Amino acid sequence: MTVDDALLDDAEALAAADRSAVLRTLATAGAQVRESAALATDAGIARLAEEGRPRAVVVASLGGSSVVADVLTALAGRACSVPVVVRRGGPLPAWVGPLDLVIAVSLSGRAAGPLALAAEAARRGARVGGDAADGSPLAEVGSRGGNVQVGVARGPRWDETAAQRTSRGALWSLLVPVLLAADALDLVRTPLPVLAELAARLDDEAEACRPASEAFVNPAKTLALELAGSVPVVLADGDLTAAAAARAASMLARTARVPAVRGALPDDASEVVASFGGPLAAPGGEDVFADPFLDAPAGPRLRLLLLRDAPGTEVDALPGVHGEPVRAVVEAVAETAAEAGVRTSEVVADPGQPVVRLAQLIARTDFAAAYLALASGIDPAASPHVADLRSRLG
């Protein structure tokens, strides 16, 4: 598949190619945060904490909405005093009862898995937080006595485009009510002032990655060109950035149609490094004397994409492989990649609150996946093969 580099520097051509307005939808992330925070506050999301901390929190999300659960577990951390359990579908764990909280997330409010889990949780007397479109079956469950239902923020210029009807384009509308619920329960620190900082960071990223910005100064366009023609290996430097890696791999597959694998350090260092000696690596580096016209075209090569937390964060001091700090493991993996001929791209978060740093990594890779799709002649919002699969499954 060829990549049209020139398209990325032509704002008008990009707008014409982006028929589903994916880039515009990504640019509304900050607005989604603000509107969703207002909706959640008006809905009384803090009422989920009136009976105190639950014994456990079950997050029910599926498909493009599953990143909501990834982000919550990353922010809560392994030391969270309340277990956070992720379920994509049924059955609801047998132990869930009146002492627990179930948060069900679905943009349409009709996803079978989250809907069934929420309905069963309500039947057992558990608290239920619904995060779904108003008037949907899931919203009906969340509106019952003792539960809380938050409608989905639409953001500015809502025009029912294909991009805005997908959970990939509505990430922040779905995530913010969950973050406010978790803050009320004292599981994460994401109060309204932090969400304001989050919205501002997303606005800054949208400005830096705007379509009118030329590729050599636009970090998302640069990343898209670096990933073109490669098989990306998305590697996070810790638990927090692992949520961004999961989102990046999903967006590359669903948006740019590029299969990507992901991992997180320090646990996955050996598996990633082992792949540098495989058929998709370039042992000894690229052949600079290869003739692109006479020689056979080179196949896709691995590209290491490192997602790194801001310098000076606690990940620096955590022990990694062989007891070394995680940052030392990151550097060792990057050096091994260079020696094996595997090129590396990096996205490094700027300082800020954990959710703000995570959001910057997500936004950058979201834009990069969209630009890669458009430069490859692909509609980033619609996949005929996914539609075909859904029709086959009824």
The span from the CA of 326 to the CA of 324, in Å, is 6
Q: Give domain status of residue 135, yes or no.
A: yes
142 and 275 share a domain? Answer: no
77 and 195 share a domain? Answer: yes
Amino acid at position 294, single letter: L
Q: Are 135 and 110 in contact (CB under 8 A)?
A: no
One DSSP character per residue, 322-356 reads: GG-BHHHHHHHHHHHHHHTT-EEEEEEPPSS-HHH
113 and 229 share a domain? Answer: no
Last residue of a domain, one of 181, 202, 223: 202
CB atoms within 10 A of CB 135: 10
Last residue of a domain, one of 202, 231, 254: 202
Question: What pLDDT sits at residue 87?
Answer: 92
Count structural domains, the chain. 2
278 and 368 share a domain? Answer: yes
50 and 115 share a domain? Answer: yes
**How many degrees, rounded to 5, is the angle at CA 81 between CA 307 and CA 65?**
45
Domain with 356 in it: what CATH number? 3.40.50.10490
pLDDT digits (tens, 9 = 90+) for 178-232: 999 999 999 999 999 999 999 999 999 999 999 999 999 999 999 999 999 999 9
Last residue of a domain, one of 139, 171, 202: 202
Q: Give domain status of residue 337, yes or no.
A: yes
Residue 293, pLDDT above cutoff 80: no
The span from the CA of 285 to the CA of 338, in Å, is 8
Encoded tokens for 175: 């995530």
Report residue 79's pLDDT band, with 50, 70 and 90 as the boundaries.
confident
Per the prediction, the chain carries an average pLDDT of: 89
Q: Give domain status of residue 95, yes or no.
A: yes
136 and 9 share a domain? Answer: no
The domain containing residue 338 runs over which residues? 5-13+209-386
Q: Give domain status of residue 394, yes or no.
A: no
Residue 253, pLDDT above cutoff 90: yes
pLDDT digits (tens, 9 = 90+) for 7-41: 999 999 999 999 989 999 999 999 999 999 999 99
223 and 194 share a domain? Answer: no
Q: How many DSSP H helices and E strands does the chain contain?
A: 14, 9
Q: Give domain status of residue 365, yes or no.
A: yes
**How many degrees, rounded to 5, is the angle at CA 33 between CA 92 and CA 52?**
45
The span from the CA of 230 to the CA of 27, in Å, is 26
Q: Give domain status of residue 315, yes or no.
A: yes
The span from the CA of 365 to the CA of 349, in Å, is 12
DSSP state for residue 4 in the 8-state scheme: -
262 and 348 share a domain? Answer: yes
The span from the CA of 387 to the CA of 391, in Å, is 6
pTM here is 0.91
Q: Are 45 and 150 in contact (CB under 8 A)?
A: yes
Rounded to an integer, the average pLDDT of 227-240 is 94
Residues in the chain: 394
pLDDT digits (tens, 9 = 90+) for 309-359: 998 886 655 666 555 678 888 999 999 999 999 999 999 999 999 999 999
Q: Give domain status of residue 362, yes or no.
A: yes
Q: Give domain status of residue 391, yes or no.
A: no
Question: What pLDDT sits at residue 296?
Answer: 45
